[in-house]
Amino acid sequence: MRSLAVVLVTLGTLGGASSAGAIVGGAGAGPTDSYPFMAALVDHQSASAYDGFFCGGSLVAPMLVLTAAHCVAARTAAPGSIDVVLGRTSLAASVGERIAVTDVIVNPSFDATLLTGDVAVLQLARPAAEVPIALAGSPPAVGVTTMLLGWGNLTGLGGTASYPTTLQRLDAPVLDASACDLYSQFRTAFELCAGDLTALHGACDGDSGGPLVTGDAAASWQLVGTVSYATAPCAQANAPPVFQRADVVVPFLDLQRPPGVRALVADDLRDGRIRLHWSARPGALPADHVIVVVAGRTAITPSVTATSVVLTGLPHDRPVDVALTIGNATYGEAQAGATVVIVGRPQVASPPRVTVRAGVARCTLTWRGILPIHRSTRWLIDGRRGPSTATLRVGGLRGHRVACVVTARNGDGSRAVQSTATRLR
């Protein structure tokens, strides 16, 4: 059943106020219009998104949809009864995606009678492919033109209901709070008054939970409100709908976001040591556990406020899988991983020595343990710097003293070793 909350108002000529449904007086979205964040809440048992549609919503994170609490409060014990449809402007289309809901979290401050605190969050079964909308950090000023989106009733003033398949949009200027004085429960600290004061323009049943936005596709959208309630019948003159302010619900929304890893960097890979450092996704619930796993075994559990850790004594010169888990026991975990090669300082069994064969001097040495990845040789002739070559032709150097210096490197670790000077004969 399509919804628009209605609350009773004192002005009898206006009738009652109800949760808002479809948009009256708007225009259908065009074929090139795109609102990737726009969500349709549909009944899971309905194969048709149009037949099963009952409320709107906004994708605010890959796995979170913000909607009105009065749309879903009765379904908290049965989140699986809701699917979320994204990526389409027509409920009759087959494009986009339909994702099951695994959890319904209603604002604990929600008052079902007054419709205050009328927000809820739906946790999706998997990340959506669509792009979430950003939440405004403050309410728009009076006079700013916003846009209302929804699939609600097209007919206001109590006429025969008609629900569109195509998403409707309607410009809604932000009004002074006094325009919503007809609602005794209206609170400017939490709610926004916006809309056209002429009759047959505004939210109606089916629009509840849907977005009120500013911006555009080019300049990026911002969510400023969610449809909450209006008069019954809807779309009366001088009776604008009421929206829950998006900037006010940010703290509630953040509590539903599991911790996330924004970046994981592994560096300082030398001598069996690695330094991991990371940054958490902003706006997420603080972690209550952090686990670092190296090569399939738990290596360390840093402080939940840590952003880096140094691990030592790790295997050298072979790929090692490193995984970082940041989690919250209530709302889930996020993981990031990398495969690194930890190298150590090259080791030699003994200093190099100069050997001469067939008129060519070579620098020979035996490596042990950690082998070098990069190696270079330079020669000293009578203590002075000579050529940087792998071998040295004896030629006219007979009777001179020569030595070789071998420098080997593995990442940041390096070792330079010099042979004892040898007189060429």
| CA pair distance 151, 138, nearest whole angstrom | 26
182-206: pLDDT as tens digits:
998 999 999 999 988 886 778 888 8
- Confidence at residue 413, expressed as pLDDT on a 0 to 100 scale: 63
pLDDT band at residue 336 using 50, 70 and 90 as cut-offs? confident
28-66: pLDDT as tens digits:
777 778 899 999 999 999 999 999 999 999 999 888 899
Query: Is 205 in the active site?
Result: no
| CA pair distance 48, 83, nearest whole angstrom | 11
- Judged by average pLDDT, the poorest of 70-84, 236-250, 298-312 is 298-312
238-249: pLDDT as tens digits:
889 999 999 888
Query: Is 268 in the active site?
Result: no
Provide the sign of the torsion angle of the four alpha carbons 67, 71, 72, 73, taken in this order. positive
Mean pLDDT of 338-358: 78
115-171: pLDDT as tens digits:
888 999 998 988 899 999 999 989 999 999 999 999 988 876 566 778 899 999 989
Query: Is 118 in the active site?
Result: yes
Tokens found for residue 284 = 């997420």
Residues paired with 354 in a beta bridge:
363
Q: Is the pLDDT of residue 16 over 50?
A: no
- Confidence at residue 53, expressed as pLDDT on a 0 to 100 scale: 94
* Mean model confidence pLDDT for the chain: 81
- Confidence at residue 122, expressed as pLDDT on a 0 to 100 scale: 92
Q: Is the pLDDT of residue 19 over 70?
A: no
Highest mean pLDDT pick, 102-111, 195-204, 214-223, 286-295: 102-111
What burial class does residue 242 get, using C-beta atoms within 10 Å of its C-beta: 0-12 exposed, 13-18 middle, 19+ buried? buried
Q: How many CB atoms lie within 10 A of CB 137?
A: 9
- Of 83, 118, 207, 247, catalytic: 118
- Count CA within 13 A, CB hemisphere, residue 395: 4
Q: Is the pLDDT of residue 278 over 80?
A: no
Instruction: Show the domains of the chain with their CATH numbers.
Output: 1-256 (2.40.10.10), 261-341 (2.60.40.10), 347-423 (2.60.40.10)
DSSP 48-88: -HHHHEEEEEEEEETTEEEE-HHHHGGGTT-GGGEEEEES-
Q: The whole model's pTM is what?
A: 0.61
Token pair 């399939």 is found at 296
Q: How many CB atoms lie within 10 A of CB 88?
A: 24
Tokens found for residue 2 = 């399509």
356-379: pLDDT as tens digits:
888 899 988 887 766 776 788 999
- Confidence at residue 17, expressed as pLDDT on a 0 to 100 scale: 42
- Of 18, 70, 83, 207, catalytic: 70
- Confidence at residue 208, expressed as pLDDT on a 0 to 100 scale: 92
| CA pair distance 292, 308, nearest whole angstrom | 10
Q: How many CB atoms lie within 10 A of CB 269?
A: 21
- Confidence at residue 411, expressed as pLDDT on a 0 to 100 scale: 60
- Of 90, 208, 228, 419, catalytic: 208
214-228: pLDDT as tens digits:
988 766 899 999 999
